[in-house]
Structure 1
Amino acid sequence: MEISFLVWVLTIAGLSALIAVDFFIGRKPHDVSMKEAGIWTVVWIALAGLFGLGLLVFGGGKQGGEFFAGFITEKSLSVDNLFVFILIMTKFAVPSKYQQRVLLIGVLIALVLRAVFIAAGSAMIANFSWVFYIFGAFLIYTAWKLIKEARAEETDEDWEENKLLKSVERRFGVADRYHGTKLFIREHGKRVMTPMLVVILAIGTTDVLFALDSIPAIFGLTQDPYIVFTANAFALMGLRQLYFLLGGLLRKLVHLSYGLSIILGFIGVKLVLHALHENGVHVPVISTPVSLGVIVVVLAVTTVTSLRASKKQAAAEAAHQVGEGEEGRAPSSADGDDRAETRR
């Protein structure tokens, strides 16, 4: 789909306006309620839906289908990111009232960095068709790695600061406590970073690692840079509210990694088949509707099985605690009286 420079400008301006509204509403540090998170999650999903319908009307069914497939894929992958965001928030002991500000700025940094990745990926695909083989192989490898990590049941200590973040901390120094939403302060005559800036950079730069699989994944669904960018933008911009809305539910999605590994592996195979087809090899090509159907079904099944497994685990733990309580309970005087009455 050919997108004019004017449409690009209007799209970026519209997205910037939405981000500005989001920032204006959340400018005052506060604890985000479930109601607020729920309303804004619905708003962002509705906006993405309206944008997709606009593409269906003005761009055609192919473009609309690619957007929805890309948006759902990126959204599901971003939910997996939230697990790591929780670890980062916990590690840096971010006060709850500042977490929404951290996520807002961190996600903006992630969006800018992803735009760079998308531009680079588009240029590579336009000039080198063999890149599809690399993307496909990488996604299949990532799918296999996800399954290994899910089976290993990694613990909360797995997240560590990356080298870039450590070097920035050494260069500028870090204050020993939070100073509201300030990013820099003067301490002993020297300008140092606050923990607020450190955790924002941690959120933003950590997302780059997730982009290494999410960007090739969406290029496996569409090679249109406009759709790739907008799908990523809408998926990321609702991430902050989703963080607060899901909360404890994330812990219940125990099979999410398996579902994502299936999706990434499927898209990896799709990319390899596409590359072979482009090189003149007669192989089946997976259409966008089929891709969208597979993604939706896998996510639905994964969610249902996760919630069932979590419910069974909670019931088993409750039964175990009750059993331990019964075994550890000391005999009461009433028990003694009952036994004496039985003997009589």
Structure 2
Amino acid sequence: MDVSGWVWAGTAVFVVGLIFFDFFAHVRTPHAPSFQESARWSIFYIGLALVFGVVVGMAWGWGPGTEYFAGYVTEKSLSVDNLFVFLIIMTKFAVPREYQQKVLLVGVVIALVLRTIFILAGAAAIEQFSWVFYIFGLFLVYTAVKLAREHHDAEHPDPRMERDGFAVRMLKRVLPTTEEYHGDRLTVRIDGKRLLTPMLLVMVAIGSTDILFALDSIPAIYGLTEEPYIVFTANAFALLGLRQLYFLIGGLLERLVYLSQGLAVILGFIGIKLVLHALHVNELPFINNGEHVEWAPEIPIWLSLTVILGTLAVATVASLLKTRTDERIASSTES
């Protein structure tokens, strides 16, 4: 797949333009978006991502096009899991609903910058060292096992979430802060002294968690494609609609009780796929005498997309059935 510098530049300008549009059209004036507004713009961004995938398929072939769709679906599903963490952070800092859009947009920008850095670093590492696939694969399998054991609960979050993160603690230690919000301002002058507001602290908290999210998502998508352009665009389009998705499915997040388990299956599958690919292109001297392991199968991209979509469908349906059953049992017990 040959992507010219002009295409890269045009794509970057387009993505940045969408972020500025989002800010000036929706975020600049603080308000709590309605369900209709969130649904309308979520559909717009998802539709835009799908149209872009068709353009990729028509311009470079449906091999890269299928890789883009698999990457986009994976990144979008991971971003839904990220939204639960954002919800916990917003609750912990008691961010007023009308200011949450600004926090989320800043989080999207930070995530996009961090992931771009990781994408470039990952591409450089893969080009120079084929054994990087072993590291990516084993890391994803480890992440999958860890994720399968997690249980998201907004009312009873992980005790670790009750404490401020390292970045927030350092910021509070170095600079004076205030406990009260002052609109959507990041700093405020009180009695002649400049103080940081909780608005800035929550942005730092979300930005620091974005680093952890990137560590999961970038190896995952490199397990589906080695083309940096597809990795970047799949991440960008998955992140662009994240703000609207947060308000659209905020109540549904609590019902997706098996989301972590579903994502664990997806990450585990991609991790195994990466290890098999690493064996297929092996150059490590202590594995098969530095020769390629020919029997290691290469999992086709169509199978990867099928597993990803199928797993998400099963996890979603199972979650909704579970919560509906629990509600029925709870109501019968009360009566």
Which residue number in structure 1 is paired with residue 207 of structure 2? 204
Contact 1:110 1:205 in 2 (8 A): no
Contact 1:175 1:192 in 2 (8 A): yes
Structure-1 separation of matches of 2:130 and 2:165: 32
Which residue identity is paired with 2:130?
Answer: S
Which residue number in structure 2 is paired with residue 178 of structure 1? 181
For 1:13-53, what per-residue CA distance to the aligned partner results, in whole angstroms no more than 9, with x for missing partners? 01111111111111100011100000010000001001100
Are positions 1:232 and 2:235 aligned together?
yes
Q: Structure 1 unaligned runs (5+)?
A: 323-344
Structure-2 separation of matches of 1:179 and 1:112: 28
Which residue number in structure 2 is paired with residue 301 of structure 1? 314
Contact 1:140 1:264 in 2 (8 A): yes
Contact 2:88 2:154 in 1 (8 A): no
For 1:201-225, what per-residue CA distance to the aligned partner results, in whole angstroms no more than 9, with x for missing partners? 1112211111111110001001111
Shift of 1:135: 0.6
Are positions 1:248 and 2:251 aligned together?
yes
Which residue number in structure 2 is paired with residue 3 of structure 1? 3
Shift of 1:161: 2.4
For 1:116-173, what per-residue CA distance to the aligned partner results, in whole angstroms no more than 9, with x for missing partners? 1111111111111111001100100111111122399993244132212211222222
Residue from 157, 163, 168 that aligns with 2:171? 168
Contact 2:137 2:270 in 1 (8 A): yes
Which residue identity is paired with 1:21?
Answer: F
SS of equivalent to 1:14 = helix
TM-score of the pair, normalised by structure 2: 0.93
Which residue identity is paired with 2:14?
Answer: G
Which residue number in structure 1 is paired with residue 106 of structure 2? 105
Which residue number in structure 1 is paired with residue 16 of structure 2? 16
Which residue identity is paired with 2:320?
Answer: L
Are positions 1:281 and 2:281 aligned together?
no
Structure-2 separation of matches of 1:286 and 1:125: 18
SS of equivalent to 2:151 = helix
Structure-1 separation of matches of 2:202 and 2:59: 41
Using a 3 Å threshold, how does the CA distance of structure 1 residues 57 and 144 change in structure 2: closer, same or farther? Answer: same
Which residue number in structure 2 is paired with residue 46 of structure 1? 47
Q: Give matches, 1:118-197, under 5 Å.
A: 118-150=119-151, 155-156=156-157, 157-159=159-161, 160-197=163-200
Contact 1:107 1:203 in 2 (8 A): no
Which residue number in structure 2 is paired with residue 35 of structure 1? 36
Which residue number in structure 2 is paired with residue 268 of structure 1? 271
Structure-1 separation of matches of 2:31 and 2:217: 31
Which residue identity is paired with 1:25?
Answer: A
Contact 2:154 2:254 in 1 (8 A): no
Which residue identity is paired with 2:206?
Answer: I
Shift of 1:187: 2.5
RMSD: 1.5
After superposing on structure 2, the runs of 4+ consecutive aligned residues of structure 1 that deviate more than 6 Å are 151-154
SS of equivalent to 1:221 = coil
Using a 3 Å threshold, how does the CA distance of structure 1 residues 158 and 317 change in structure 2: closer, same or farther? Answer: farther
Structure-2 separation of matches of 1:223 and 1:187: 52
Contact 1:253 1:307 in 2 (8 A): yes
Which residue identity is paired with 1:4?
Answer: S
SS of equivalent to 1:192 = strand
Shift of 1:296: 0.3
Shift of 1:247: 1.3
Structure-1 separation of matches of 2:212 and 2:3: 29
Structure-1 separation of matches of 2:154 and 2:33: 30
Are positions 1:315 and 2:328 aligned together?
yes
Which residue identity is paired with 2:259?
Answer: L
Contact 2:167 2:205 in 1 (8 A): no
Structure-1 separation of matches of 2:234 and 2:152: 30
Structure-1 separation of matches of 2:304 and 2:57: 17
Contact 1:34 1:245 in 2 (8 A): yes
Which residue number in structure 2 is paired with residue 94 of structure 1? 95
Structure-2 separation of matches of 1:270 and 1:152: 31
Which residue number in structure 1 is paired with residue 286 of structure 2? none
Structure-2 separation of matches of 1:69 and 1:214: 13
Which residue identity is paired with 1:262?
Answer: V
Using a 3 Å threshold, how does the CA distance of structure 1 residues 98 and 153 change in structure 2: closer, same or farther? Answer: closer
Are positions 1:213 and 2:225 aligned together?
no
Shift of 1:191: 2.1
Percent identity over the alignment is 55
Structure-1 separation of matches of 2:205 and 2:153: 25
Task: Give the paired residue count.
Answer: 322
Structure-2 separation of matches of 1:166 and 1:247: 28
SS of equivalent to 1:177 = coil
Which residue identity is paired with 1:120?
Answer: A
Q: Structure 2 unaligned runs (5+)?
A: 283-291
Contact 2:143 2:267 in 1 (8 A): yes
